Amino acid sequence: MSIALQYAVIALLVMLSAAFVWRTRFPASWRRLRVVLAIPLLREGRPAWMRSIGRWVAPASALASGECGGCDGCK
């Protein structure tokens, strides 16, 4: 394996681990980033493939946690 490929694999792993730490330690900013990335993809007139990526990137709604979408006090 060449040294450039080794460096590319290491760089990918470092970026993935940094994203994991960001997602677990700073969930509010991670959610804001997902919203900022998803909104342009979900606009009217975008191709279907772009809208599907936007739906995949968009965070789940805060109201979608329970069956009724309420206070989550049923448990």
Render pLDDT for 29-73 as a digit per residue (tens, 0 to 9). 999 999 999 999 999 999 999 999 999 999 887 666 555 555 656
Provide the residue type at 72 as one letter: D
Query: Is residue 13 pLDDT above 70, yes or no?
Result: yes
Burial class (CB within 10 angstroms; exposed 0-12, middle 13-18, buried 19+) of 9: exposed
- The token duo for 50 is 């772009």
Looking at residue 72, its pLDDT comes to 57
The CA dihedral of 10, 12, 18, 20, to the nearest 10 degrees, is -120
Q: Categorize the per-residue pLDDT at 7 as very low, low, confident or very high, splitting at 50, 70 and 90.
A: very high
Residue with the bigger pLDDT between 63 and 26: it is 26
User: CA 47 to CA 50: how far, in whole Å?
Assistant: 5
User: CA 40 to CA 63: how far, in whole Å?
Assistant: 22
